[in-house]
Structure 1
Amino acid sequence: MNTTTRMVVLLTALATVLIFALQMATYGWVVAKYMVVETHASSTHMRSVDAKSANPPVFAELKPLPVVLMHGMGDAAGNSGMKEIRDLTAKTLGTYVVNIPIGNSVAEDVRNSFFVNMDDQLEIFAKEVRKDPELSNGFNAAGFSQGNLLIRAYIQRYNDPPVYNFISFHGPLAGVGALPQCKPTAFICKEIDRDSLAVLCHRTEHLAQANYFRHPLKIHEYLQYAKFLPDLNNEKPTPNATYKANFIRLQNLVLIRAKRDTQVFPKDSEWFGAFLDGTYDKILGFNETRWYQEDLFGLQTLDRLGRVHFLETDGNHLQFTTKFFLQVVEKYFAPTLAHPVNSYLL
């Protein structure tokens, strides 16, 4: 590829990312509202694909813990949909529930979800959590899409106060290997992804989504230049033992994948899977990845303890009903004497 062609492809990639950002700024506002009002929808369901997920979850105490909710990109803690989700969760569980903002206003919250890097977003998230006295003894956490990476990073790097149970709704926890809405095997997407996107994403600090881009054809560049995701995965030469120690303190890790996801490639990232290094043609299951096989941050340990649960929804990214959402949080967040944990089978 000559210099001119390479520059055109690079600019195309940049334009694609920016267009996607604008689309998602609108999309994020729609998602939460959709969840709240479409409680009667029949097109989505929950399916357990792990026999261990039918076992009663383990809880730190019988009284429901407070809950932290973290929105995804293009969304905001203060938008009407997220506030409705917060209130419904509080009513269902009978406990304190809070949406964590990463900006001082709705507009800034949305903007920061794109243009503040994930490390700096994490600092804001941790500060908000730590200043809330209701969370001082620990909490449960549920995230939407990108928000799950902040929760994951908080658990591994801070976890003080600790997270007991973590539910990830369509979170790209193992990163993304291609642009949203751009299947990597399609010609134009393949040309964009092959060279320019790796340069754009692995070396930029000011686009949050680039911080968890893991280009399967450019793993060397990813490990050399990317800071956020390879650090969390403990893929760097010197792993951080604290990350693993904190992660395995989780009592339940609930991973929910969208069966028809066109935003996250591969969708298996939502179950901690990933493209095989060096190709787009093979996707590794969560237990085939290096981070599982070598137990780099504790995923294997949690799995062998029976604390990892795999669920799937039928629709696209963040397309599920409020009923589904509340069933999941009730099952994993709300054990009571009147309703034993093993009665929460969906």
Structure 2
Amino acid sequence: MARRLLALVVALCSFSAVSAGPHHHRLRELVRVQGHKAVDEHAPALTPKPLPVFFFHGVTANASSGYNYQANLTAEGRVFVALNFCPSLCSVSALPGQVQAAITAVRTRVASDAAFAKGYVFIGHSQGAAIARAVIEEMDDHNVKMFISLAGPQTGVFYGPQPSDIIPRMAFTMRIGPQMIPSFDFSKYSGADYAAGKFQSDFNALVLGNPLLQQQLSVVNLGRSPVKKAWRAVNTFLPVINNVNPCGKGDKQCMADKTRRRRNFLKLKSAHFFGSPADDVVAPWQSSILGQFNDVVTSEDILLNFPLFRVIDMKLTDEYEYDTYGLRSLDVRGGLFLYAVPNVGHSCWVADSKPLGATEICRFQPVYENYIYPLLHKQGWGEY
């Protein structure tokens, strides 16, 4: 069964200052004063040096998912590390443990290679993007300068009424879900049931009523229930890294951890979140650019109000409005960027692929050259 699950999920889831005066006189400005530093304007410019890159793969994948990034980046002399701390079927396990394994892997490499002394870049794809952000927040000694999230479910997955949610929902209910949670009867729901929110209401009740699932499956950790209060109390991953998890009265450690995670996130120079309406895995696709569906009070409300569900913009979320982990602060200082890129399937951020329901292949290299390459060559973000 493990091999079958792996195969199924893999199938689903890239001037000089010289002026001429009269003939008997030349004026050359050699030096400009900046503060207390004298700058020779005719000295050769320093060549920017590329920062190393860590790559975090998606669910059921492994380090080979970073092959195209490795080929592009090592060709220009950049150090590239595709992490492999929990590959293949291991990546289906609960995410808090994977985050700690990732931190160990990053620290080990940084400690053994002087190339990382000036900082480094994190690139994460899909589940790997959520793990990468968690590492940034939980790793107190990180020196990540730039974070690039590619099709990462940063605010969680919920299969709503958007037309773009249909293919991701079908992929989950017909393939991934039955393999991971065989106790739930996915087959009993009709198209009308899905359109009315009956499946969504029932599955939400299952997840919120069985906290043990949070300790077992990454796909459950990445689910977002619109029943806000209950979800924040039960889910052990996303509410934590979004800093919206409830702290008990007098729980100083919980509050200190929130402060620490926010401080660590704000060590970033810039964060870039990419998503596409053509994503065939993440729903809503806006989760990749920090949007989310509206909240309700109970699971029953999902069924009652499902046709009215709407995605709210990042700036209207609690995470941004209350600056829970630093999004608004990073935005104010000019370091937060969201990209809604058309016609990029979920896997196309890392490789040539044909998205589910598509008729044409999506090519990785144009996506990389148009969107990722410029970021990696911007001084202060991808270079120093």
> Deviations along 1:310-337, whole A, 9 cap, x unmatched?
2222223233522322443332222469
Quote the sequence identity (%).
22
Normalised TM-score (structure 1): 0.73
Letter in 1 for 2:219: Q
Determine the C-alpha separation between the residues in 2 that align with 1:187 and 1:113: 33
Determine the C-alpha separation between the residues in 2 that align with 1:96 and 1:327: 21
The residue number in structure 1 matching 2:236 is 227
2:12 matches 1:27:
yes
Shift of 1:250: 1.1
The residue number in structure 2 matching 1:113 is 91
Candidates 58, 62, 66, aligned match of 1:76: 62
Shift of 1:64: 1.4
Letter in 2 for 1:164: K
Normalised TM-score (structure 2): 0.67
> Deviations along 1:15-42, whole A, 9 cap, x unmatched?
xxx99875322334xxxxxx5xxxxxxx
Indicate how the Cα distance of structure 1 residues 198 and 249 shifts in structure 2: closer, same or farther if over 3 A, else same: farther
Map 1:1-346 onto structure 2 (within 5 A): 22-28=7-13, 62-77=48-63, 79=64, 81-92=65-76, 94-103=77-86, 109-114=87-92, 116-132=93-109, 133-134=112-113, 135=116, 137-178=118-159, 181-182=168-169, 187-189=192-194, 190-200=197-207, 203=211, 204=213, 205-216=215-226, 218-238=227-247, 239=255, 240-278=258-296, 280=306, 281-315=309-343, 316-320=345-349, 321-335=364-378
**Unpaired segments of 5 or more residues in structure 1?**
1-17, 29-34, 36-60, 104-108, 342-346
Determine the C-alpha separation between the residues in 1 that align with 2:369 and 2:56: 15
Indicate how the Cα distance of structure 1 residues 198 and 164 shifts in structure 2: closer, same or farther if over 3 A, else same: farther
**Paired positions, count:** 282
Where relative contact order (Cα < 8 A, 6+ residues apart) is larger, the structure is 1
Determine the C-alpha separation between the residues in 2 that align with 1:186 and 1:151: 36
Determine the C-alpha separation between the residues in 2 that align with 1:312 and 1:159: 31
Larger radius of gyration, structure 1 or 2?
A: 2
Runs of 4+ in structure 1 off by over 4 angstroms are 18-22, 183-186
Please give the secondary structure, in 2, of the residue aligned with 1:82.
helix
Determine the C-alpha separation between the residues in 2 that align with 1:336 and 1:257: 24
Shift of 1:102: 2.3
Letter in 2 for 1:83: Y
Determine the C-alpha separation between the residues in 2 that align with 1:305 and 1:63: 24
Determine the C-alpha separation between the residues in 2 that align with 1:297 and 1:140: 19
Indicate how the Cα distance of structure 1 residues 336 and 207 shifts in structure 2: closer, same or farther if over 3 A, else same: closer
**Unpaired segments of 5 or more residues in structure 2?**
15-46, 160-164, 174-189, 248-254, 297-301, 350-363
Please give the secondary structure, in 2, of the residue aligned with 1:260.
coil
Letter in 1 for 2:192: F
